[in-house]
Structure 1
Amino acid sequence: MAPSGPLHAFIDESGRPGKNKFMLCAATVVSADISDIRARLLELRPRGSSRIHMKNAGKDAARIINGVATLEAHSYLYVVQKSCLTREARDLALTRVFEHLDDMSVRRAVIESCNQDHEDRKIIQSVLGSDPELEYVHEPAGSENPLLWIPDIHAWAWGRKGEARKAIEHRITLEVLK
């Protein structure tokens, strides 16, 4: 069944050594589901943690991945296979993700903030124009917006392969950028 209602996107990058070294993941969620998904993500946090970050998940990784696999969130994963600087890979992926989100009529996109927000905004504006219908904001990582944990979890599980990938692959659409 296709999601109904306005969509929001939550975007994070994932870096890995090797051929698929840069991934940008955009998790989409129907607006009406945001509160329920936020509550479920908070329940999935490891004890004593303020947030979920898969790099630090340890023994909780499988439980977190399997829990997130049940959530009504679909991710679009952009893997840059071109040999280039990280900024160039990020620009390529951001361009593609915002073309796609605009085509899907996503209402709002939240991008995990990093030290490149200014450069990101230039790329996004080049795609959407100066007065876009799609609102986009950068927000810091952490406990403030648990929905930013979804792209981290999806990208991590995809890159991990094996059982982790199998658990979430029904939630992922992959696009390889060369």
Structure 2
Amino acid sequence: MAAARCPSGDVTVARKALKGVLLPGQERLHFNHERPARRKQILEVITGIHLLVDLYRADRDTHADRRQCLEAIVRDCASSAERLVVELEESTYEHDRRWLRDATRRFGCHETLRWDVLVAKADPLLWMPDAVAWSWMRGGEWRRAVAPFCQLRGL
């Protein structure tokens, strides 16, 4: 799972930059559906945004692993983030909301960290972790393109 950090003062500019690479009729970017040339173009825009992406690796793709990743994200942003937006996964929506609520209480940020679970087209900033995670997992030149602004985080 990937979590992109964007300073609050850069959010509007970052959203505008990402919307700027949408093709006519496209509601959102989904890296898996893009051609290699488009992926490179999108990564150039993301690189220009100057963000940091935390990567969390679970051994499997289970509810328990997703929960661990979400809890680690809350833990790592508890003291500095104002808002956390998680991409909606229909099959885990209710779990995600409960896990996020519990994690913000556990890490003492339930009054300072706002969080939302949204569909990807609702916030262009959700497109960045998708693109970076895809690139990291693909390896090779794709990983090298995103490695300068990625860091592996523990669960």
Q: TM class, shorter-chain normalised? A: 0.7 to 0.9
In the other structure, the counterpart of 1:136 is 115
RMSD across aligned positions (CA): 1.7
Is residue 46–residue 57 contact of structure 1 (8 Å, CA) maintained in 2? no
Compute the displacement of 1:47 (Å): 4.7
* Unmatched segments (≥5 aa) in structure 2: none
Q: Return the structure number with greater helix share.
A: 2
Rounded Cα–Cα distance in structure 1 between residues aligned with 2:81 and 2:89: 22
2:26 equivalent in structure 1: 49
Amino acid at match of 1:154: V
d(CA) in 2 for partners of 1:163 and 1:140? 29
- In 2, the alpha carbon distance for the partners of 1:128 and 1:94 equals 10
CA distance change for structure 1 residues 110 and 70 in 2, over 3 Å: closer, same or farther? same
Q: Equivalent residues in 2 for 1:68-79 (5 A)?
A: 68-79=46-57
Partner SS, residue 142 of structure 2: helix
Aligned residues: 150
Partner SS, residue 52 of structure 1: coil
- 1:91 pairs with one of 28, 49, 67: 67
Which of 43, 56, 66 does residue 65 from structure 1 map onto? 43
Amino acid aligned to 2:94: H
Amino acid in the other structure paired with 2:149: R
Which 5+ residue runs of structure 1 have no aligned equivalent?
A: 1-23
Give 3-state SS (helix, strand or coil) of 2:67's partner.
helix
* Aligned residues of 2:97 and 2:117 also touching (Cα < 8 A): no
Residues 131-176 of structure 1: per-residue CA shift (max 9 Å, x gap): 431010111122x311110110111111111111111111111125
Using structure 2 for the length normalisation, give the TM-score. 0.88
Structure 1 runs of 4+ with >4 Å offset: none
SS in 1 for 2:112: coil
- TM-score, length of structure 1 as denominator length: 0.77
Q: Between the two proteins, what is the percent identity of the paired residues?
A: 26
Greater strand proportion: 1
Structure 2 CA distance, aligned partners of 1:46 and 1:165?
A: 24
